């Protein structure tokens, strides 16, 4: 069982709340924004993940130094939101399919990462890992190799961002994840049972169910919590408001 010191803080700050995790040489702030969108902040490092929902949702946040985009769909690559943000100091980390759609001059720089590649930018190591639908097929909503999940190494912690994935072996094989953000919405990704089963196998210290709005409304994240608590009680499930 993994242990590390956590300081949890809820702050009413505009439209978002924040969790704070103690880490080496500076705490890490997690801000759920909406759906699959979040902000990680530590000292002068500000990481936006899949900015979506309009720039107004980021009011009160510092401008980003890194922007991670997982896939080409509009709830991940959202040009309207990007256009409204100050990206003058931001390096965008994206798969090739996203880079192909970004206007020239977006951000300070664009770094293209394919699955199973990594890069250290601004002293933050970013690993790109697969995210895809099962069974694998060229015409799947999310085909293998097109999009990225990410592992962000920050302050001695490892943050896993699933992107739009199903219950794939690469996720189940993850090790030493401190904080995971795991999707669960049909018919686009996986159902609650699949998500809970995968999380119970790779056992992050903390997991946030996110990206849980599907075609028939919201997934049952309380059921997800119950299933994980039963199968892997050492995993802390944090339920937060991703939809205002």
Domain-embedded: residue 12: no
Q: What is the pLDDT of residues 152-204, one digit of tens each?
A: 999 999 999 999 999 999 999 999 999 999 999 988 999 999 999 999 999 99
- Examine the pLDDT at 5 and tell me if it is beyond 50: no
Domain-embedded: residue 2: no
Q: What is the pLDDT of residues 194-205, one digit of tens each?
A: 999 999 999 999
Q: What is the pLDDT of residues 121-147, one digit of tens each?
A: 999 999 999 999 887 767 778 899 999
Give the other-Cβ count within 10 Å of 102's Cβ. 16
Contact criterion met (CB below 8 Å) for 90 and 66: yes
Domain-embedded: residue 44: yes
Domain-embedded: residue 5: no
- Mean pLDDT, the chain, rounded, equals 91
Domain-embedded: residue 1: no
Domain-embedded: residue 242: no
For residue 168, give the nearest of 126, 211, 136 by alpha carbon.
Answer: 136
pLDDT (0 to 100) of residue 244: 77
Domain of residue 38, residue span: 19-237
Assign residue 64 the CATH number of its domain.
Answer: 3.60.15.10
* Residue 68 binned pLDDT confidence (cut-offs 50, 70, 90): very high
- Give how many domains the chain has, as a whole number: 1
Contact criterion met (CB below 8 Å) for 32 and 212: no
Domain-embedded: residue 9: no
Domain-embedded: residue 71: yes
């Amino acid at each position: 069982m993994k242990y590390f010191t956590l300081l949890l803080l809820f702050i009413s700050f505009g439209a978002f709340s924040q969790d704070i995790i103690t880490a080496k040489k500076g705490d890490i702030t997690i801000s759920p924004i909406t759906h699959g969108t979040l902000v990680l902040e530590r000292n002068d490092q500000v990481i936006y993940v899949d900015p979506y929902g309009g720039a107004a949702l980021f009011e009160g946040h510092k401008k980003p130094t890194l922007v991670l985009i997982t896939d080409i769909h509009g709830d991940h690559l959202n040009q309207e939101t990007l256009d409204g943000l100050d990206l003058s100091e931001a390096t965008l980390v994206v798969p090739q399919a996203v880079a192909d759609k970004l206007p020239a001059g977006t951000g300070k720089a664009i770094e293209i990462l394919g699955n199973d590649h990594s890069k250290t930018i601004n002293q933050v190591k970013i690993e790109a890992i697969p995210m895809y639908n099962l069974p694998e097929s060229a015409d799947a909503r999310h085909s293998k190799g097109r999009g990225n999940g990410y592992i962000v190494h920050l302050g001695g912690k490892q943050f896993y961002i699933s992107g739009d994935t199903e219950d794939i072996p690469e996720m189940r094989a993850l090790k030493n994840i401190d904080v995971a953000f795991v999707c669960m919405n049909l018919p686009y990704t996986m159902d609650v049972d699949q998500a809970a089963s995968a999380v119970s196998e790779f056992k992050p210290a903390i997991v946030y169910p996110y990206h849980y709005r599907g075609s028939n409304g919201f997934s049952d994240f309380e059921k997800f919590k119950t299933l994980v608590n039963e199968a892997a009680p050492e995993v802390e499930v944090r339920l937060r408001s991703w939809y205002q």
